[in-house]
Structure 1
């Protein structure tokens, strides 16, 4: 029994050293090979710096809306709400988001609202939405900006990012990049 306890303690120490030291340094080293050295993609526009890998809040109707955040888009406090689909409070929050979306997007049916526009992601910081989520907002933005819908639809199509390595994950659109391009659209 004593031998098993000593083996378990040694394994714990080795694992602790490996995962808190060696593994961390290997990942940090790999990150140094990429642009921005693992600090994420940064865009500068009009003298402001934006991190494209962190969700941003866009509440003005003349912009594409981001996915809701359970943490108020605060990167220091990443996390979800931990409320399940049977929680009454959560269902109320989602219903309020649906009602707000329908109010700001007349003509859109409840069934046409993509789920990511009314539910927060697990991290609360998801910077991306689907093509469908962007296209369902085109009519509102076109009307407010006095632009042809086809022009905005083309802008959405131009900002579609494919899956990682063409295999992993869905196609997506970074809302920040899309809204910055929207600001430059004439």
Structure 2
């Protein structure tokens, strides 16, 4: 019996060292080497002030900014501590009302478009509720509004969008998309350069 207790203590100690020390250290080092910007959430600084995270969507409501996907994360949306989908079934009336509300909001903000022009990602939240990307179609749809609000040419905005376009992973997984925060930061920089 004494030998069994000894084995249990040694095994517990060994597993503690491996799983509590070696493995976390290995994962941390691998993250630092292979994912240097993502390891700390992709925080973006402007003049030494954190303005957002590359990996977490945020709410942009001004006409001079590109808007991201709606968020179901948290009570008011875009809550990084409450990442979750709405969990509403496709037959749920609240989901229908949320999408209808987003469609009306998008049409009001972009009066030159038709309802058939609106891509799905502008009116529905993502699985995490914090997706920082929108599709190329969603970005291009907002160009006239942002150009008018900033008194910039639409061609310049389209060039910015194309310069920040992220290709599908491995060339075929997903679709082309644009990070909304990076796009809005770049639009601010270009406007300040003028």
Normalising by structure 2, what TM-score?
0.80
Question: CA 1:164–1:26 in structure 2 vs 1: closer, same or farther (change >3 Å)?
Answer: farther
Among candidates 93, 114, 121, match of residue 126 of structure 2: 121
Superposed displacement of residue 42, structure 1: 2.4
Looking at structure 1, the residues matched to 148 and 58 of structure 2 have their Cα atoms a distance apart, in angstroms, of 23
Looking at structure 1, the residues matched to 90 and 103 of structure 2 have their Cα atoms a distance apart, in angstroms, of 15
Looking at structure 1, the residues matched to 168 and 128 of structure 2 have their Cα atoms a distance apart, in angstroms, of 19
Superposed displacement of residue 77, structure 1: 0.6
For the pair 1:40 / 2:12, whether they are aligned, the reply is: no
Matched residue SS, 2:45: strand
Superposed displacement of residue 25, structure 1: 5.6
Cross-structure match for 1:27 = 27
Superposed displacement of residue 26, structure 1: 4.7
RMSD (CA atoms) = 2.2
- In structure 1, runs of 5+ residues without a counterpart are 1-16
Looking at structure 1, the residues matched to 37 and 140 of structure 2 have their Cα atoms a distance apart, in angstroms, of 31
Q: Which runs of 4+ in 1 moved over 4 A?
A: 20-26
Cross-structure match for 1:68 = 70
Among candidates 137, 141, 147, match of residue 142 of structure 1: 147
Q: Which has the larger displacement, 49-58 or 21-30? A: 21-30
Deviations 1:58-108 (A, max 9, x none): 011110001110011111110000002211111001101100110110010
The number of equivalent residue pairs is: 170
Matched residue SS, 2:108: helix
Pair member with larger Rg? 2
For the pair 1:85 / 2:90, whether they are aligned, the reply is: yes
Looking at structure 1, the residues matched to 189 and 32 of structure 2 have their Cα atoms a distance apart, in angstroms, of 32
Normalising by structure 1, what TM-score?
0.83
